[in-house]
Amino acid sequence: MKILVSNDDGYQAEGIRALAEALKDLGPVTVVAPDRNRSGASNSLTLDVPLRVQETSPDVFCVLGGTPTDCVHLAVSGLFSYRHDLVVSGINEGANLGDDVLYSGTVAAAMEGRFLGLPTLAVSLCISETSGRHFATAARIARLLVGQLKEHPLERAMILNVNVPDLPFADLRGYRTTRLGARHPSEQAIEARDARNRVVYWIGPAGAGADAGEGTDFHAVAQGFVSVTPLQIDLTRYSAIDTIQGWLAKLHD
């Protein structure tokens, strides 16, 4: 099983190094990741300039100026003479819960693998200001889940979004299959000044959990469980199709 590993924190990030190391005995691992942190890049694809790829060490490639989506797209669509069997994205330095999946480059890398026909999962470590950065825990969870996928494949249309509490492995309470929760709106943008005293803005911090009750990814992680949320790409709101059809019928030319 040839495993493609990517992320949005960059090819030198602690999380991706821990992930690649944990998976290497399950099959050949190739890392293709951005040359720098591209958190929040979502599903952006670079179309206006060509991309340059550098092999920084054996089977580790960085895409200069590339997004997570660029990395997976290139890896699956021409960078190599062989085809990978699975895409694993992460380990993200921070949670990807609820609404985060819409912005997350980590989840976007997994989505791109899915678009290109491969089974995928995205793995994030839910680091807080007081936590211990237990990347080894998240890497072990990733290895267990990839092993499970190898032995018991799921339908390829499914993406697994995995969030791991930042705890020693022995302190985890188990796994929960969850749905996405939702956050409160983000905090206000932060106004600042650059070195030339010009006004600049920083995007405000993400909001706290709003829909964070039992059954959500927020709740599972808060209770010490690994959250595994199955995602799908189709955003169609099927329940509204008849309503919109009736609404459009009232249009007058």
Alpha helices in the chain (DSSP H): 14-23, 68-76, 100-103, 105-115, 135-151, 217-222, 241-249
Instruction: Identify the burial level of 155 via C-beta atoms within 10 angstroms of its C-beta, where 0-12 means exposed, 13-18 middle and 19 or more buried.
Output: exposed
Containing 63, the helix (H) or strand (E) segment is strand 60-64
pLDDT tens profile 207-245: 777 777 899 999 999 999 999 999 998 889 999 999 999
Nearest to 112 by CA among 231, 253, 1, 20: 231
**Per-residue pLDDT tens digits for 80-119:** 999 999 999 999 999 999 999 999 999 999 999 999 999 9
Q: Where are the domains of the chain?
A: 3-182+209-249
Could you say which architecture CATH assigns to the domain 3-182+209-249? 3-Layer(aba) Sandwich (3.40)
d(CA 124, CA 14): 12
| Alpha-carbon distances of 182 from 44, 123, 239, rounded to whole Å | 22, 18, 20
Percent of the chain with pLDDT over 90: 80
pLDDT digits (tens, 9 = 90+) for 33-80: 999 999 888 889 999 999 999 999 999 999 999 999 999 999 999 899
Q: Which two structure tokens, joined as six digits, stand for 88?
A: 């694993």
